[in-house]
Amino acid sequence: MRCCAQKLEEFAEGFGRTRFLAFLQGGATQLAQAGEVGARVIRGDLAQRCDIFQQPFAQALQPMQPGNFRGGFAPDCRQRGADGFRVQAAHQLADVLKLAALRLELRDALVFEHGGAQIRIQGHARQLLTREPHQFAAQVLQGVHGGLLLRLGGMFGIFFRCAGRVGRGGARKHDCQWKSRGWYDNDFSLSLSPLMSQHAFSHSFATLQQLARDALLYAQNAGASAAEVDVSEGFGRAITVRRGSVETVEYNHDKGLGVSVYLGQRRGSASTSDFSAAALRETVAAALAIAHFTAEDDCAGLPDPALLALEAEDLDLYHPWNLATEEAIALAARCEAAAFAADARIDNSEGATVYTQESRFVAANSLGFMGGYPTSRHSIACSVIAGKEDAMQRDDWYTTQRNAQGLEAAEAVGERAARRAVARLGARKIATGSFPVLFEAPLAAGLLGHFVHAASGGALYRKSSFLVNALGEQLFPDFFQLRERPRQPGALASAPFDDDGVRTQERDVVRNGVLEGYFLGVYSARKLGLVTTGNAGGNHNLILEPGALDLPGLLREMRRGLFVTELLGHGVNSVTGDYSRGAAGFWVEEGEIVHPVEEITIAGNLRDMFRNIRAIGRDLQIRGSRQTGSLLIDGMTIAG
């Protein structure tokens, strides 16, 4: 660590006092003062980070040593971008100089190019240079500071979180944090644009494929009898507006490589986020070392080659959302504003969030399988509070899709969150008894999740499921039809192959109420003496065939009982099927909602609950891997 601090000290002194002045081709005293301040900030800030990261930085800093600045840092930066994430420059330098915190935008960004460096001066940057030279110097130093961070980011993945809000007099207040996200390669360049798009991937798909090939080759050369590898990269952004002001702006960028090797039927696994050749060799060696010490397992090994998905298939899962930060802020603000405008009783907000995530991966094994594809997921969410003091109620709503064009309007999300919160005002307890319970569609999807967990291979071969040996058994009413559709274009849980590389397949999981199949990967299938169902990693699009009734129709069908809209706690025993959870919702009389309910518990056993399903609604809510309408279940115990 002393070496790290010394290297930063040398760089800060040399660059801060000499190269910066030559860089600007000026000699003003104010600029020299700014350069010294910048050197102190960079030196103190980053030297302190050495103690956190616990790795020497000498190699990362070599290209930026005094006299070696030209030609070493971030070639072709405008093409590749900053390893997939964009950095808004830190405001520390301007704060030290007591200058206004000015945001650098793309038009006046500091740009480092192969063979030298230049400052792109356009718009108000030119005015700053002529009228307010020390503010311009602070901006440039911010860029230099960011450039050094990005150069170190060539070794680290960095997560940047900046929370800002408007204070008195319109002053902007910022709270910024940098967090380590693992080791990255040195292929970085600098960009200060707030726009995130498909160009933010730092590695091409071909590069991910080559990394997978390299890892498999290293494993083969090191003596592994078989191997499999997964290489992935993803980035995203979440922007939250609360009470009309920006609450948080969060960026993430992650990557990793995981490898499993086999020595006969002994298996070892290791992973890394460093894509260098040396790191890949070390990771493979670590996996082999683990395999040497593990016991043989008759069920370990790669899939049957005949089951592998050897042909590529495009399921339309990738739709980038090229949304500028300002546009995302405006969208979140409109969402929250619509919630406040929907009802005067909306008194507070937990915020509205716009979220976007893009990722891609390559999976491969030594049997010749290699597949992968990009995906995207976007959402808009809002959570608000109605009432005041002891009479407050909170509720929320969100929409999510792979393609942002399919999202509900931001205003509609906010309005629905407000209506839900207001509807809960005046909630009270009810008497204890046995009544029918209507689970709202999003909660009904959770009930399907309990079924999937109990019918999954891991729980079954460990005998930790209430559905052990239940294959072929009548678990649901005869109108219950549950199908898995993994190749549905654009769906949230579509996939051409599972985590083992096995082709996914359309099938009936439950037909006429009878359990027709489990959810199995290669390993769990072998443990159970069955064949994989292509579900390593979980279920794909599960679609419960809807009934004829909409939500009002289900309420009328129930006549008297509880309509549940929120569940609390985790009181589900997957071994016995016992179910007991806190709940909130509405009491129903004569098929009509009469008042909101809170502070109650609903209980039963999942086997009984499955058998006692009276009706399935057609009010589908598609938010994940399980699609269902509301479920009406008879005979549950309600404790008030």
Mind listing the domains of the chain with CATH numbers?
2-155 (no CATH), 325-361+370-423 (3.30.2290.10), 433-639 (no CATH)
The DSSP element (H or E) to which 231 belongs, if any, is strand 226-242
Tell me, what's the pLDDT at 621? Answer: 86
The 3-state DSSP class for residue 288 equals: helix
Give the E-state strand segments of 426-481 in sequence order: 433-439
| Of 454, 476, 492, residue with least CA distance to 578 | 454
Q: Give residue-wise pLDDT tens across range 528-566.
A: 999 999 999 999 999 999 999 999 999 999 999 999 999
- Amino acid 20 reads F
Between the two ends of the chain, the Cα-to-Cα distance in Å is 60
Looking at 48-52, 261-265, 273-277, 413-417, which range is the least confident one?
48-52
The 3-state DSSP class for residue 573 equals: coil
Q: Give the torsion through C-alpha atoms of 26, 27, 30, 34, to 10 deg.
A: 70
* Mode of pairing for the β-strands spanning 542-544 and 626-627: parallel
Q: Give residue-wise pLDDT tens across range 285-305.
A: 999 999 999 999 999 999 999
- Does this model's pTM top 0.75? My answer is no
Q: What is the 3-state secondary structure (H, E, C) of 474-536?
A: ECCCCCCCEEECCCCCCCCCCCCECCCCEECCCEEEEECCEECCCECCHHHHHHHCCCCCCCC
Q: What percent of the chain has pLDDT over 70?
A: 69
Average pLDDT of span 295-320:
94
- Per-residue pLDDT band for 596 (boundaries 50, 70, 90) equals very high
Interacting residues of 195 by C-beta distance below 8 A, sequence separation 6+:
86, 106, 322, 323, 324, 325
The 3-state DSSP class for residue 454 equals: helix
The 3-state DSSP class for residue 46 equals: helix
Please give the residue that has the higher pLDDT: either 214 or 117: 214
- Per-residue pLDDT band for 527 (boundaries 50, 70, 90) equals very high
Q: Give residue-wise pLDDT tens across range 13-23.
A: 443 433 333 33
**Please, are residues 42 and 140 in contact by the beta-carbon 8 Å criterion?**
no
How does 307-316 read in b/e, with b if 16+ C-beta sit within 10 Å? bbbeeeeebe
Q: Chain-wide mean pLDDT for the chain?
A: 77
Average pLDDT of span 264-289:
97
Tell me, what's the pLDDT at 217? Answer: 97
| Of 174, 196, 243, 566, residue with least CA distance to 382 | 243
Interacting residues of 297 by C-beta distance below 8 A, sequence separation 6+:
265, 266, 267
| Residue 169 Cα to chain centre, angstroms | 36
